[in-house]
Structure 1
């Protein structure tokens, strides 16, 4: 009987735990943007793109940024690179875009937001409202970002 009670409570506990993790990620992302971008977007999306990790996922995020770089609602934060010169060569003209933020101080890592996957931060009224990854587990992130940018 007791075991059944605990089994029934397990989904509730897992739901609460996942909400807490999401809130924690949002708080970390807000703290990161406060430090890294004094001209924070009013509304839009930040793409945090690591130098290494899931190669296909990183290419996917870079392609989205390259395709929509002209949108004022989009900024990219490039992080965890080994060489600024190498990053400049890799990004070519994108390196000098107004929408690019170079994370020289590895703030993304210090704020514990660095993963092997690119991260999309949704902004509303200068606050982070969602944190999603370009990953196999969140395969719809790519589509959601493009849909938002096509408005």
Structure 2
């Protein structure tokens, strides 16, 4: 099963952190920091969506432009159009294609990424 270009069925524990470029700035900052800290963590991919300017995104994420193995830049905003993510970043974890964790990173729920990290890292 593929979620756009991302094959989600091959891994026992496979996770996506979907980050809109426009939305809750504090929540997005937290998600971008998680991306920077975990870019080399196996079995996790990152999606940047809600892109209004390809040029701006390439500037903001210049250091990641060659990491197509880890970061998908959703220039067509399919993750937004399909309402997978809207204003807040979202973490989704799959186990052999089935969703087992799905949560938005909301203001006042700063522990979402920590909870995810504990769950995710304990399974790898």
TM range (shorter): 0.7 to 0.9
TM-score, with length taken from structure 1: 0.70
2:43, 2:119 → 1: CA distance?
Answer: 9
Matched, 1:83 2:83: no
Q: Aligned runs of 1:48-67 on 2, under 5 Å?
A: 48-67=18-37
Decide which structure has greater helix share: 1
CA distance in 2, matches of 1:126, 1:114: 18
Give 1:116's aligned residue: 87
Residue equivalent to 1:101: 72
Partner of 1:21: none
User: In the alignment, what sits opposite 1:25?
Assistant: none
Q: TM-score, with normalisation over the residues of structure 2? A: 0.84
Structure 1 residue 72 displacement after superposition: 1.7
Give the structure with higher Rg (CA). 1
Offset of residue 36 of structure 1 = 3.4
- Provide the residue aligned with 1:129 in structure 2: 100
Given that 1:68 and 1:149 are in contact with CA atoms closer than 8 Å, whether structure 2 keeps it comes out as no
**Counterpart contact for 1:78–1:101, Cα < 8 Å:** yes
Which ranges of structure 1 fall in alignment gaps of 5 or more residues?
Answer: 1-29
Of the three residues 32, 35, 38, the one matched with 2:4 is: 35
Is 1:140 aligned with 2:111? Answer: yes
Report the count of equivalent residues.
119
C-alpha distance in 1, partners of 2:24/2:38?
A: 21
SS in 2 for 1:105: coil
| Corresponding residue of 2:43 | 73
Q: Give the match for residue 24 of structure 1.
A: none
Cα RMSD for the two superposed structures: 1.9
Comparing both chains, which one has the higher relative contact order based on Cα–Cα distances under 8 Å and sequence gaps of 6 or more? 2
